[in-house]
């Protein structure tokens, strides 16, 4: 199930029923080791079994079982899903299934069998919700929205002007489909630019708590299949995000930016509007992106630039600070 191989000499009948970090694992737990800085924790662990890569197998204590994997994190994630299948997606807070009598469901809404709508949720006119989807307590699904099958809309989330695919997960407090920030400055002040686009969220997207995804202004905001977005991210109007991207907490993406497939963006990064981030690019945390990023590039810093150039600049500044002198004094 984990795509790993049992190390030589390990009893194949050994069982595990839980997962835990090395320092807390007991005799029934599975853990993992992929960073040499935790070698002391590995030496003292009481875990039943540890997932490890081939190069670190020699560090596993003899009494500990070992599963050898090429990708330790992926193997541990697979094992966790097998042991705790109910933790893969949110479950109903009430523990009940079906349509709550305390939910407000418009009579024109089309809801397939197996849908759960919890208390105080609001389902607007002409909404369509697919089989095995959960709408959590206090969530709002606005008029005309479509939600696919086996999706999860967390408590207090709000979805308007949006089409959601299958197996989409929106954690509590997510906001999808509200107006983007658009105004025309003039002599009498700021005139609002109408926002009439939609949000399209494709299959297998997961969006963390309190993230906001603005509707398009005059075209759609799109999030591609398999993309994972962390908590407290801001996605502006007309943004297009490709497939299987990873966007970490407190990232801000300004309007009309296009992000390719497989892009990874570190936490607290700001991306200017009307830019293109190429396929497979990686942006370091706490960066400020002011220009287009080529496909496959690794950028970081403020303003963001190729990481080698950024590291050289940081090294030079550090050396200057240690010398306690400025570049002008060096020239003198």
Q: What is the pTM (predicted TM-score) of this model?
A: 0.91
Taking 3-state DSSP, the helix, strand and coil percentages for the chain, each rounded to the nearest 5, stand at 15, 25, 55
- What are the CA-CA distances from residue 323 to residues 88, 318, 326 (Å)? 53, 9, 8
Q: What is the pLDDT of residues 238-290, one digit of tens each?
A: 999 999 999 999 999 999 999 999 999 999 999 999 999 999 999 999 999 99
Catalytic residue among 106, 126, 171, 237: 237
Active site residue 244: no
| DSSP letters for 41-92 | HHHH---SEEEE-GGGGGGS-TTSEEEE-SSHHHHHHHHHHHH-GGGSS---
Q: What is the pLDDT of residues 158-197, one digit of tens each?
A: 999 999 999 999 999 999 999 999 999 999 999 999 999 9
User: What is the number of other CB atoms lying within 10 angstroms of the CB of residue 171?
Assistant: 22
User: What is the number of other CB atoms lying within 10 angstroms of the CB of residue 182?
Assistant: 18
Q: Which residues contact 23 (CB under 8 A, 6 or more apart)?
A: 41, 44, 45
Q: What is the pLDDT of residues 18-50, one digit of tens each?
A: 999 999 999 999 999 999 999 999 999 999 999
Furthest C-alpha separation in the chain: 81
| Chain centroid to CA 214 | 17
Mean pLDDT of the chain: 95
């Amino acid at each position: 199930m984990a795509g790993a191989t049992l190390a030589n000499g390990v009893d194949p009948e050994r069982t595990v029923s839980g997962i835990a970090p090395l320092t807390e694992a007991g005799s029934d737990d599975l853990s993992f080791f992929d960073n040499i800085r935790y070698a002391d924790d590995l030496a003292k662990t009481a875990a039943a079994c540890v997932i490890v890569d081939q190069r670190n197998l020699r560090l596993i204590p003899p009494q500990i079982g070992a599963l050898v994997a090429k990708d330790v994190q992926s193997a541990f994630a697979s094992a966790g899903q097998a042991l705790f299948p109910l933790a893969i997606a949110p479950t109903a807070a009430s523990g009940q299934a079906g349509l709550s009598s305390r939910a407000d469901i418009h009579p024109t809404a089309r809801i397939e069998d197996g849908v759960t709508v919890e208390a105080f949720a609001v389902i607007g006119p002409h909404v369509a919700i697919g089989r095995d989807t959960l709408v959590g307590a206090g969530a709002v699904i606005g008029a005309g929205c479509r939600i696919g099958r086996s999706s999860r809309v967390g408590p207090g989330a709000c979805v308007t002007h949006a089409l959601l695919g299958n197996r989409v997960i929106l954690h509590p407090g997510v906001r999808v489909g509200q107006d983007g920030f658009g105004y025309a400055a003039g002599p009498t002040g700021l005139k609002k630019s109408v926002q009439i686009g939609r949000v399209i969220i494709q299959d297998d997207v997961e969006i963390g708590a309190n993230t906001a995804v603005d509707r398009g202004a005059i075209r759609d905001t799109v999030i591609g299949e398999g993309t994972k977005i962390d908590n407290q991210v801001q996605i502006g109007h007309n943004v297009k995000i490709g497939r299987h991207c990873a966007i970490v907490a407190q990232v801000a993406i300004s309007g009309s930016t296009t992000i390719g497939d497989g892009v990874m963006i570190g936490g607290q990064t700001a991306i200017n509007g009307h830019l293109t981030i190429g396929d497979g690019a990686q942006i370091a945390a706490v960066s400020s992106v002011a220009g287009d990023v080529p496909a496959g590039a690794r950028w970081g810093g403020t303003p963001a630039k190729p990481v080698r150039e950024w590291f050289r600049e940081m090294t030079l500044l550090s050396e200057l600070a240690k010398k306690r002198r400025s570049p002008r004094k060096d020239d003198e």
